[in-house]
Amino acid sequence: MLTDDHVRWLRQRAQFLIPATERTRGVAQLLRAIGGVQAQELPAAALALRARTAGLTAQAVDHARLDERSIIRTWAMRGTLHLLASEDAGWLLALLGPMFMAATTRRRAELGLDADTTADGIQALRKLLAAKGPQTRAQLAERLAAQGIPVAGQALFHLIGYAAQAGIVCQGPDRDGKPAYVLLADWIDTGTALAPDAAATELARRYLAAYGPATPEDLAAWSGLARGVARAAWQRMSSELLEVTVEGRAAWLLKLHAARLNERPDQRMSVRLLPGYDSYLLGYQTRELTVAAAHARRVHPGGGVLRPVLLVDGRAAGVWRSTQRKRQLVIAVDPFAELPTTALDALAIEADDVGRFLGRVATLQIEK
């Protein structure tokens, strides 16, 4: 049986969150290794990559997304915006998209987007982006409304989401500080297509490499796959799995990572400033091993919010926020309990690195 501390160490290691982990991967390579990062807030997604690399800058993330186009921002796991490696977009969208498109059929109809109107909207969207290039939501709303396509309320959001999950559009460059949308096929090479079962198995394999020890139910919670699909994928790769015991229940690692069970956990304290909606907190069915019940509401206050977290040795030890003032960055940390000197020293280094990443001078404040 693995201790809770060992499980946390293994999961941090898989997520490149501990000091001994090789942390010099490129942006696209890292996203492939950790299965993408949630990106409903793009600055938070960039900070999630910072926590898992050495020397990366926000400019380098933008360069990978907008110039190299080696990474992409689109709707993927759980039907939410993610940053993905571009070469993974095709097979992931083909696997996940139909499921989420079907799940929102009723809501689209309530917004005036029945099957025929949705098809008309997609056709109009294709023609508009092909003719005009990148368009913001406001520009799309104006031009689609002129063609009689419903755009009021959440209708346009759902139409764009449907088109993205169908592999037709994605987010491209910003225009006047707002996200603009482009045709996916014009923006990136989506990579090799996979059959549905092969895609689900590949997703399970990628997930377990980045989140193990874990279970099929954890995979379902992280990805949005139906539990039956997740379990079937697990079964197809059973020869690749090593069973362990976590909290008295079976969990699995890839046999490829079996040697990690015999590695001595790094004795250096691991301190990370994780952004809101970080993968380490979103990757499992529950957060019991990461967030103590007494602090759960401070991390996840409700309404879909998952706050930025101070992580100490794999456990949430506080929450934090940042304020930017020209070239200054104030990082205010609200710890759940008094931090030892070693944690404070490591936290100061982390805060400085957040500032470096953003091109600002950071000032750390510990709130009482």
- Per residue of the chain (368 residues), what is the pLDDT tens digit? 899 999 999 999 999 998 755 555 789 999 999 999 999 999 999 999 999 998 999 999 999 999 999 999 999 999 999 999 999 999 999 999 999 999 999 999 999 999 999 999 999 999 999 999 999 999 999 999 999 999 999 999 999 999 999 999 999 999 888 999 999 999 999 888 899 999 999 999 999 999 999 999 999 999 999 999 999 999 999 999 999 998 889 999 999 999 999 887 767 789 999 999 999 999 999 999 999 999 999 999 988 899 999 999 999 999 999 998 888 999 999 999 999 999 999 999 999 999 999 999 999 999 97
The verdict on residue 321 lying in a domain is no
Q: Within a domain: residue 363?
A: no
Task: Tell me how many domains the chain contains.
Answer: 1
- Residue 275 sits in which domain range? 1-303
Strands 361-366 and 328-335: parallel
Structural domain includes residue 266: yes
Q: Is residue 368 part of a domain?
A: no
Q: Is residue 162 part of a domain?
A: yes
Is 148 inside any structural domain? Answer: yes
CB 39: neighbour CB atoms within 10 A? 25
Whether residue 203 contacts residue 90, with contact meaning beta carbons closer than 8 Å, is answered with no
Assigned domain for 207 exists: yes
343 falls within a domain: no
